[in-house]
Amino acid sequence: MERVLLRNTESPHSADIHEYIKGGGYISLHKAFEMKPFDVIDEVRRSGLRGRGGAGFPTGMKWSFAVADPQTPKYLICNADEGEPGTFKDRGILEKNPHLLIEGMVISAYAIEAAWGYIYLRGEYPRAKDVLLSAIKQAYEKNYLGDNILGKGVGFHLHVHCGAGAYICGEETALIESLEGKRGQPRIKPPFPVNEGFSLKPTIINNVETLANIPCIIEIGGDAYSKIGSPECPGPKLYSVSGHVKRPGVYELPMGVTLREIIYTHCGGILGDKKLKAVIPGGISTPVLTPDKIDCPMDFRNLPRVGSLLGSGAVIAFDETVDMVNVCLRITKFFEHESCGKCTPCREGVGWMRAIIERICGGAGRNGDLDHLMEVSSNILGKTFCPLGDSAATVVQSYLGNFRHEFEEKIKNR
């Protein structure tokens, strides 16, 4: 498949606007400006594009909600707070192909009639910040951003805001709170950001990768786009692969490629040709899978059928030597550290789970610990304010479910 999201990124100057334009960049913007905003949305709707941040919400539908809200002004926010461990796909776009994102954002802003946009950038991406800032400067110089873009009377201004290291700020409402200068904690939904987002105005928040798909949709048309990859959730997809594979990295492959193909064909198989023990398909907040599930196509529809989620498409492979209890502990520690503390079950429960697992790992496990752990996780599940606590609970349950014998062994051999 021809690369769309990482087109021309082999060039060392791929982030430069001239290079981007040379490779056909900003043509979609010209094309979009010839269309009516409504038609742009319609094209995106027909493309079947679903949000790449993890939830997979149909992008065109989201846009039309914001447009239907009579309040003005409207805001466009790019969620570049790529904090999910194992995920580094957006970074590829941000550092190597920033103009694709900018072009996507200008088109999106034109479609939803937003005059202001923000890129909420992960604080630990200093390089991406530099690249983005100079790309934005170039875009202003070339009049792709500004008060009167391409002389068409369309105005759009873009700012970069750096996060301060909180995972929760990747959650869209916490992101808005943080962008407004407040403590990053999720808001009550509804109202959803499409109606009351930034400054309580209609706001579209899309992931970097989602917005980077927009120029392609405009270029080839929604119908053509919808034929790429899985029929239900089409399009190209970036997979960031890490762990025990021979060639880790970001891979642009169509939606619906199988885990086996990613690991064995594209990444060259497991390091040292060892046996695959487990794989996380979509970042650490998605349940772990055992090797018998790796023929499952990677998309929003098929992964839930085998008990996991596509998430951000961050594949982490573990070989046969890995201690899965330790993996579970590491992940739970992460969730404990990143829980914002707003709601009781997540704040108190995740730490409790961590404490039990840590004890088991430290050789002080007791009989009944695993049932207890299961109960604590069930007590969190479905009661939290936002999905963070739920993820922590389901993930622990998936490790307990798939590798219970490893936990039991640790307790027995303390």
Partner 1 sequence: MITITINEKKITLEKPVTILEAARSAGIHIPTLCHEDILEPYGGCRLCLVEVEKVPRLLSACTQYITEGMVVRTETERVIEARRAILEFLLINHPLDCSFCDKAGECDLQDLAMKYGPATGRFAEGKRKHPESYDDPLIVRNMERCVLCSKCVRMCEDVQGASALCITNRGSKSYVEPFSGGRYNCEYCGNCLTVCPVGAIMSGLHRHDYRSWLIEREVETVCSYCGVGCSLLLQIRGNSLIRTVPKIGRGLNRGLLCSKGRFGYDYISNSERLDTPLIRRNGELQPAAWSEAITHIARRLKEIKENHGSDAIAGIVSGRCTNEDAYVFQKFFRGAIGTNNIDSVASLAYGPAQRFFERIFGQGVTANDIHGISNSDGIFVIGGDPTGINPVLGLQVRSACKKGAPVVVMGYAEGLKRFSKHAFITNSTTETVLLASLVSEIKKKKSLPGERPVFEEIISGLQPVPLKDASEMSGFGLNDLVDTVDTLSNMINPSIIVGRDIVQTSTGHMSLLFLAALAYLLNGRIYLLSELPNEQGLLDMGCQPDMLPSGRPLTIETFRTRCEETLGIAIPSTPGLNYVEMIEAAHAGRIKALYVMGEDTVQGLPDRNYVSDALRNVEFLVVQDMFLTETAQYADVVLPSLSWAEKEGSYTNLERRVQLTKKAVEGEGIEEWKIISEMSKILGLDMGYRSVTDIFTEIVRISHIYREITYNDITSGRCMWPYKGGPLRHDVHIEGIELPDIVSVMKNADESGVQVRREAHLFHSQNASRYSPALQSISPEPYVKMSETLAGRLSLRDGEHVKVVTEAGSITLSVHRDPCLPENVVLIPPFEKGGIFEITKWKVNPVTKAPALDGNRVIIET
The contact set with partner 1 (CB under 8 A) reads: 166, 183, 188, 190, 336-352, 355-356, 359, 372, 379, 382-385
Q: How far is the CB of 358 from partner 1 (least distance, A)?
A: 8
Which CB, 15 or 340, lies closer to partner 1? 340
Closest CA to 111 of 58, 57, 48, 66: 66
How far apart are the C-alpha atoms of 91 and 117, rounded to whole Å? 19
Question: What is residue 384's three-state secondary structure?
Answer: coil
> Which amino acid, one-letter code, is at 381?
L
Q: How far is the CB of 339 from partner 1 (least distance, A)?
A: 4
Which CB, 147 or 371, lies closer to partner 1? 371
How far apart are the C-alpha atoms of 360 and 410, rounded to whole Å? 7
Phi and psi torsions of 384, nearest 5°:
-85, 165
Give every CB contact of residue 387 below 8 A, 6+ residues apart in sequence: 171, 285
Contact 267, 258 (CB under 8 A): no
Which CB, 268 or 363, lies closer to partner 1? 363
Handedness of CA 82, 86, 89, 92 (dihedral sign): positive
How far apart are the C-alpha atoms of 171 and 174, rounded to whole Å? 5
Q: How far is the CB of 84 from partner 1 (least distance, A)?
A: 17
Q: How far is the CB of 349 from partner 1 (least distance, A)?
A: 5
Hey, which bits of 152-266 come out as E strands?
Answer: 154-162, 203-207, 236-243, 249-254
Q: How far is the CB of 85 from partner 1 (least distance, A)?
A: 16
Q: 3-state SS of 105-143?
A: HHHHHHHHCEEEEEEEECCCCHHHHHHHHHHHHHHHHCC
Q: How far is the CB of 253 from partner 1 (least distance, A)?
A: 33
Strand partners, 113: none
> Which amino acid, one-letter code, is at 136?
I
Question: What is residue 146's three-state secondary structure?
Answer: strand
Which CB, 75 or 385, lies closer to partner 1? 385
Which CB, 28 or 384, lies closer to partner 1? 384
Which CB, 96 or 342, lies closer to partner 1? 342
Which CB, 11 or 72, lies closer to partner 1? 72
> Which amino acid, one-letter code, is at 390?
D
Q: How far is the CB of 360 from partner 1 (least distance, A)?
A: 12
How far apart are the C-alpha atoms of 40 and 330, rounded to whole Å? 44
* Four-point Cα dihedral 318, 323, 327, 333, nearest 10: -160
Q: How far is the CB of 30 from partner 1 (least distance, A)?
A: 41
Q: How far is the CB of 110 from partner 1 (least distance, A)?
A: 31
Which CB, 31 or 330, lies closer to partner 1? 330
Angle (deg, nearest 10), helices 324-338 and 350-361: 150
Q: How far is the CB of 201 from partner 1 (least distance, A)?
A: 15
Q: Kindly state the DSSP code that residue 59 receives in the 8-state scheme.
A: H
Which CB, 5 or 360, lies closer to partner 1? 360
Q: Kindly state the DSSP code that residue 191 receives in the 8-state scheme.
A: S
* CA 155 from centre of chain: 28
Which CB, 311 or 345, lies closer to partner 1? 345
H or E stretch covering 104: helix 98-112
